[in-house]
Amino acid sequence: MGNQMSVPGAISGVVPRLAVKADHVPRSETGIGALMPWADRLWMVTYVAHKKRTGGGTGLFTIDDDLQLSKHPASVVGTYANRLVHKESNQLFIGPHAIDVEGNVRTIEALVDVRLTATARHLTDEAGKVYFLGMEGEFFEVDVQTLEATQLYDLLDELDVHDYPHFKDMYTRHGRVVVVNNSYYDKDFLAGSSDGRLAEWDGQTWTILAKTQFNTLGSANGMGPGLYAVGQDRASALLHVYLPDTGWKVYRLPKSTHTQDHAFTTEWPRIREVESERLLMDASGMFYELPSLTYANAVWGIRPIASHLRVVGDFCSWNGLLVLAGDQTTPIGDANPVAGQPQANLWFGKTDDLWSWGKPQGWGGPWWESSVQADVPSDPYLMTGFEHKCLHLTHTSDTAVDFHVEVDFQGTGTFHRYRTLTVGPAGYEAFTFPVGFSAHWIRLVASTSCTATAQLTYT
């Protein structure tokens, strides 16, 4: 994978000497949670599994133009995966640190022991304050000059989260702060819902938008108006999009793996700008090209790039390269007795290298034992960019049900009926699309209210 000649000393894009390692006692985790080019270096923070399993060796690191790794003297051990450039104060916030353009580091002592997952812009004092989010639902306001931190909310109470919390990301845009929690465990698969959350705050009131696993948020500020939220339920991966003229819209995407369904193993889907005005999205084991612009109040132009196995904590462009963070060896509490010293490393390459990683494949659909209303269209499900496509349909009605297959080949939200598939009483049917048949989105409409499953396999 990648161009081995592009980075001196690299083996398939990995430079072994840049690996970061945690101490042997206690054995935990040393994933790389956040990357950011800043002050003529590449900065990164690594994380242990939990603040109760501290371990050493993790913290704040820099890499210079000669690919020399240094651990910063201000480094502290913690669980961090947040980054934000605050333009008014010219500071990078990464982990519990504030770094100026000269590379001087200050530490927000009150946040060192919080598992920080996101930093976001302030709703009313953009120049003077930022928000910080902790994995256990701690929501802070921090003064960018004094670094004084004030906890505003416990989101476990505000968002009615009872199970093991796992808040993962936060983003401010269009007069709202949006947060995601990816709580999703074995029992939640059977229930079809979870303590996972997609929620927003207007500065006064918290509103729950969805109750299933959500993992990350992103936007192309300054380009398109779309604010993207990525999650999943048992039917498929989810892409919820906020547009000012329409509010929140729901789209569905294939999953390329089931190993990231569980909250603990979803480390970390991301949406980042990796080339000028171009977004890259990693979700459910697949990289996608994600458009920074939207047209006709619709999202189109999403293109699958590659299926992959790598755990990518963060990624960015640096010195003309695409850099992917990793989380390679994780013997948390010796739960894995055949894993050794905790360690992680980076991958260096070009964005175009990703197309060689693995042909896009996946599965999912709009329904999984879902309550379906007659003549009400399903959510749109991504169809473009896959070679072979097979639709599986079943239902529990004691009469035959017609399922109208509709496609949006332009991407603007205009659907056309492709064909109708009739499934007998409590029956099952499969339909294989012609090789190469594609549209931006596909959706289904049932003729009868029923409990139905509609899943597409893309190979």
Q: What is the pLDDT of residue 436?
A: 87
β partners of residue 344: 20
Reported as a single tens digit per residue, the pLDDT across 127-167 is: 999 999 999 999 999 999 999 999 999 999 999 999 789 99
What mean pLDDT do residues 371-388 have? Answer: 97
Q: Which SS3 state, helix, strand or coil, does residue 79 take?
A: coil
Q: CA–CA separation, 242 vs 223, rounded Å?
A: 14
Rounded mean pLDDT, 372-383: 98
CA distance 388 to 396: 28
Chain segment 20-50, per-residue pLDDT in tens: 988 887 888 889 999 999 999 999 999 888 7
Q: Which ranges in the chain are annotated with CATH 2.130.10.10? A: 16-356
Distance (Å) of CA 26 to CA 114, 234, 345, 426 = 19, 35, 20, 54
CA distance 353 to 305: 10
**Tokens 């651990």 appear where?**
71
Q: How many CA atoms lie within 13 A of 217 on its CB side?
A: 28
Instruction: Output DSSP code: residue 298.
Output: B
3-class SS letters over 109-172: HHHCCCCEEEEEECCCCCCCEEEEEECCCEEEEEECCCCCEEEEEEHHHHCCCCCCCCEEEEEE
Where in the chain is CATH 2.60.120.1110? 362-458
The closest alpha carbon to 400, from 448, 357, 360, 441, belongs to 448
Calculate what percentage of the chain has a pLDDT beyond 90: 78
| DSSP annotation string for 234-278 | SS-EEEEEEETTTEEEEEEE-BS-STT-SGGG----EEEEEETTE
Average confidence (pLDDT) over 224-253: 96
pLDDT at 332: 78
What is the third-level CATH fold of 16-356? Methylamine Dehydrogenase; Chain H (2.130.10)
- Long-range contacts for 301-305 (Cβ within 8 Å, ≥24 apart)? 301/411, 301/440, 302/239, 302/253, 302/382, 302/384, 302/440, 303/384, 303/385, 304/254, 304/360, 304/362, 304/382, 304/384, 304/385, 304/386, 305/280, 305/354, 305/355, 305/357, 305/360
Average pLDDT over residues 406-424: 96
> Is the confidence at residue 120, as pLDDT, over 80?
yes
pLDDT at 4: 42
Q: Which residues pair with 84 in a beta bridge?
A: 93
Who wins on pLDDT, 358 or 74? Answer: 74
**CA atoms of 109 and 120, how far apart (whole Å):** 19
Q: Within 13 Å, how many C-alpha atoms sit on residue 454's CB side?
A: 29
The whole-number pLDDT of residue 2 equals 44
Residue 51: per-residue pLDDT: 66
Alpha carbon distance 236, 228 (integer Å): 16
What's the confidence (pLDDT) of residue 23? 82
Residue 314 pLDDT: 97
* Residue 98 pLDDT class (50, 70, 90 cuts): very high
Q: What is the pLDDT of residues 49-58, one digit of tens each?
A: 876 656 677 8
Give the confidence band of 15 by pLDDT, cuts at 50, 70, 90: very high
Place of tokens 């969805």: 210
For 362-458, CATH gives: 2.60.120.1110
